[in-house]
Structure 1
Amino acid sequence: MSDVPVYMAGSGLACALGRDRQESLAAMRRGGVAPTPVTAVEGFAWPVHVLPPDEGDWWQRLRRTVCDVVAQCGLPDAQATAEMPLFVASSSLDVGHEEEARRLAGDMQVFADAVGDAIGWRGPVFTVSTACTSAVNAVLAAAELIRDGAVPRAMVLGIEFSNRLTLAGFGGMQLLSPDRALPFGADRNGLVLGEAVAAMYLSAAPARWCLIGGANVVAGTTPTGAHAGAIGAACRAALQQGGLRAQDIDLIKPQAAGSLNNDAIEAAALATVFDTLPPMVAFKSLIGHTLGASGAAELVLLTACIEAGVWPVANHALDPALGVVLAERAPTNLQHILVNAIGFGGGHAALLLKDCGAPSA
């Protein structure tokens, strides 16, 4: 296997905080944006971190958002992308369009192809839909192609766009908070969903952010919950691929969705990997759980925070039983970051990110 490094050469984001990274950081400085009540069916509404208002039907809004987010990445010209693969990662896919049009649009690949057409993509297009690990698995797949020397660059798009079916499903399982998400919180009472479109332009050309390891571990015994053994296995496998020890990790971006059980399982699992838990950073209280897009959306937001010197501050009390510390600022000499994602179907994924611009410890 070739050993070509994989870098994040560009990124883009639209989320509840704003339609690009700058707007999102500005909103974070102001303390964030409150979730909006969304009615799934008559008589049943839950808070959702929705994208800023936009005109047009579902597809028009999605196309405009995707084009804007991809434009933030600084891609090469169209000719250079002719052989460049596009990985479209999503959990809900085009369910919102199907609701609005009152018809089924087609199979899973129809959605990814339509997204590719919207941005004039000339290379191959792939669908990755593994619930809430979709975007992380898309990054793993794209990085593997680059690392093996098969392609010099790739694009990952995480998309979670408005629909009522997903909201109703999570509500029916009694997984949603009636007010707000409290990652690792003492009073956590469920998830708050969110909408986002995030782009990661990956390349073999050196850049600040390097993807040095990752893994996906499936534990099918708990199809709707976290599995401590699988979380630990994914973290250890990622560390092994990246050539790191647990003590080399300076910061963890956990799943931390505010679930009463899964937050506790994740914290306990991480404690089996680390003798002392590194500081952590959580974003779901700001942008919600963006499901299939979350791995990309939260990673793009995290790197933007580090680059701009902006940091999310937890304004809720943490559960002392979990032993977790949410960092109040970026750790000094931050270099190695572990990113976790957990999804329905037993998926547990991890990514390792290195800040090549940070000083060595």
Structure 2
Amino acid sequence: MSELPVHVAGSGLACALGRDLREALAAVQRGGTSLTPTTVAEGFTWPVHKLPSEEGEWWDRLRRIARDVVAQCGEQDVEMPLFVASSSLDVGHEEEAASLAGDVQTFADAVAEAIGWRGPVFTVSTACTSAVNAMLAAADLIRGGVVPQALVLSIEFSNRLTLAGFGGMQLLSPDRALPFGAKRNGLVLGEAVAAIHLSTAPARWRLMGGASVVAGATSTGADANAIGAACKAALRQAGLRPQDIDLVKPQAAGSPGNDAIEAAALTEIFAASLPPMVSLKSLIGHTLGASGAAELVLLTACVESGVWPVANHALDSELGMTLATQAPARLRHILFNAIGFGGGHAALLLKDCLA
């Protein structure tokens, strides 16, 4: 039996740029939004790309935003599988309520109830590769004919613990993220809720392939061999060669070390013909477990609308990376990378079927 195609039938996003894609694209066109200084304890403050402010308790805010984001995808069959992807899960609620809400699946079940979901619910929590791994798991079910469609809902919502943890490891920038930048000095975290409806039904964007590789020896950093293995496996599944890639969306979060490792891995994969690259983390921050879905939704919306995210910082010439100042004239295949704690390295291959 041949594999069934997997298309992006609908998508939705709420992030620091706005509560929906229309607001987000308008903010991209303006060059982004301002960062919010966030304090976790006296003397410990870092900038964060925060969602627009919402009244109410943590769960009430999340319920409203999740419902709005899913609604952006269009009318949904609530009997299909739901994959809830998150790194921090309900930590913010636990902080606010000063109590533990339950195990990992409790959060996903509560989210499903909030959006009126009746189908099977899965939790994917693999740090910053959560959303990509959720898409890969959903795509496997669809390709194999187990289900005709699935919804991935990725959530990274406000909490102090995550910010304090990254700050304690000295991974955060005191000012802003500079992907592949000459003066990059760390990450800037962000909040986001993103939804992607995957289906066999024909649509503009097709998920051609993907892979997830874990490098156990590098639990808090990038591994060049693992990046290469994930990208090459995604290419093989899609039946493509490196020269077929028209655009790369790297992890490129602004880390002094990890950006350099990723640059070396990409140089090895593409040799002397590096394709154009695009980075979104200077606009929405590193949204951790939600980043794979949030950045994919934003990037495809940018391509469709003709709004292009332009970096406004000097790049590190030693890395040999460039960020495109406009969409490539030919844009059919996109390689999409994600790297996370625990040694996770994941890649997706996306095809624009209209190109």
What is the TM-score with the length of structure 1 in the denominator? Answer: 0.97
What SS does the corresponding residue of 1:310 show, helix, strand or coil?
Answer: coil
**1:265-306: CA deviations, max 9, x gaps?**
000001111022111000000000000000000000000000
CA distance in 1, matches of 2:327, 2:134: 27
What SS does the corresponding residue of 1:81 show, helix, strand or coil?
Answer: coil
Q: Report the Cα offset of residue 126 of structure 1.
A: 0.4
Tell me which residue corresponds to 2:290: 293
Q: 1:202 aligns with which of 188, 198, 217?
A: 198
Q: 1:258 aligns with which of 233, 250, 254?
A: 254
CA distance in 2, matches of 1:346, 1:41: 29
Letter in 2 for 1:277: L
Tell me which residue corresponds to 1:272: 268
CA distance in 2, matches of 1:5, 1:289: 30
CA distance in 2, matches of 1:30, 1:350: 30
Contact 1:86 1:123 in 2 (8 A): yes
Tell me which residue corresponds to 2:308: 311
Within-5 A mapping of 1:215-230: 215-230=211-226
CA distance in 1, matches of 2:268, 2:321: 13
Misfit runs of 4+, over 2 Å: none
Tell me which residue corresponds to 2:176: 180
Within-5 A mapping of 1:1-361: 2-76=2-76, 80-82=77-79, 84-275=80-271, 276-358=273-355
What SS does the corresponding residue of 1:334 show, helix, strand or coil?
Answer: coil
Letter in 2 for 1:41: A
What is the TM-score with the length of structure 2 in the denominator? Answer: 0.99
Contact 1:216 1:350 in 2 (8 A): yes
Contact 1:40 1:167 in 2 (8 A): yes
Gaps of 5+ in 1: none
CA distance in 2, matches of 1:188, 1:128: 30
CA distance in 1, matches of 2:57, 2:313: 37
Letter in 1 for 2:342: G
What SS does the corresponding residue of 2:263 show, helix, strand or coil?
Answer: helix
Gaps of 5+ in 2: none
**1:27-46: CA deviations, max 9, x gaps?**
11111112100001122010
CA distance in 1, matches of 2:24, 2:78: 28
Letter in 2 for 1:189: N
Contact 1:86 1:156 in 2 (8 A): yes
Contact 1:75 1:201 in 2 (8 A): no
**1:83-142: CA deviations, max 9, x gaps?**
x10000000000000000000000000000000000000100000000000000000000
Letter in 1 for 2:117: W
Q: Report the Cα offset of residue 81 of structure 1.
A: 2.8
Letter in 1 for 2:161: L
Contact 1:10 1:75 in 2 (8 A): no
What SS does the corresponding residue of 1:202 show, helix, strand or coil?
Answer: strand
CA distance in 1, matches of 2:122, 2:2: 23
Contact 1:2 1:149 in 2 (8 A): no
Contact 2:148 2:200 in 1 (8 A): yes
Q: Report the Cα offset of residue 55 of structure 1.
A: 0.9
- Cα RMSD, aligned residues only: 0.7
Identity of aligned residues (%): 77
